[in-house]
Amino acid sequence: MQPELVLASGSPRRRELLRSLGVPFSVHPSWVTEDVPGNPSPGELVEILAAKKALAVAHTRHQAVVIGSDTVVSLEGKILGKPVDEEDACRMLERLQGRAHQVYTGIALVEMDGGKVSRRLIDHRVTEVMVRNMTTDEIRWYVSTREPLDKAGAYGLQGIGSIWVDWIDGCYTNVVGLSLPLLYDMLKQLDYPMMTRSFSPERKV
Ligand SMILES: Cc1cn([C@H]2C[C@H](O)[C@@H](COP(=O)(O)OP(=O)(O)OP(=O)(O)O)O2)c(=O)[nH]c1=O
């Protein structure tokens, strides 16, 4: 029997992205605190948090491959996570508009075998995103839609936020919260049999 695939995330975007692959999986959000000591680089930060999320859920499973992930925006050396409130979202968008920034997403896979961690993989990808100039009214209106409030950098490339994204350089799904090419490569390294699964895009999770 193949191990269960578990998505350790409460993010609806990650769930939709994984669902689009048609593989069966279950969802178990991790609820870990997203504070990391020291001064990690954006790449280190998303890898540490992805591993923290995956491990927290992995320890509740006997036989499984658990996926953890984390996304941050990096703007000229400053890390932007999710805004704490509407004012914070407005401030983030004011800083992002008119210049390019980088979106970092980390993925951790933790394989549990007989209740023990048997293998661990951690990696991340970076995508550059150019947000064009926004007027103050546009920023206020966009924040009033509430779309920015639960997203790193206070925008959603997959939603209304796409209006102001001029171009991206790199993986699209990495920006939305889970790089599917990277996930596929990592699952292959664990010999997870994606190709032998029957494809079922309508499967409910
Ligand atoms: C930049 C960007 C981020 N995001 C989202 C992806 C993530 O859900 C979120 C970053 O927050 P995260 O802390 O990475 O994830 P989360 O709290 O939503 O979910 P969990 O920790 O349970 O896995 O920002 C978009 O949906 N679109 C975008 O364009």
Residues 34-88: pLDDT tens digits? 889 999 999 999 999 999 999 999 999 999 999 999 999 999 989 999 999 999 9
pLDDT digits (tens, 9 = 90+) for 121-145: 999 999 999 999 999 999 999 999 9
Q: Which CATH number fits domain 4-189: 3.90.950.10, 3.90.226.10, 3.30.2350.10, 3.50.50.60?
A: 3.90.950.10
Delimit the domains of the chain by residue range. Answer: 4-189
Distance of CA 104 from the midpoint of ligand 1 (Å): 11
The strand pair at 64-75 and 99-113 is best described as antiparallel
How high is the ipTM of this complex? 0.97
- Say what the pLDDT of residue 205 is: 44
Stretch 160-179: mean pLDDT: 98
Which residue minimizes the CA distance to atom 21 of ligand 1? Answer: 9
Stretch 183-200: mean pLDDT: 81
Pocket of ligand 1 (CB under 6 A): 9-11, 13-14, 29, 34, 53, 69-71, 73, 82, 103, 150-153, 155-158, 175-177
**What percentage of the chain carries pLDDT values higher than 70?**
94
SS3 assignment, position 121? strand
Asked about 70 being catalytic, the answer comes back as yes
Distance of CA 202 from the midpoint of ligand 1 (Å): 23
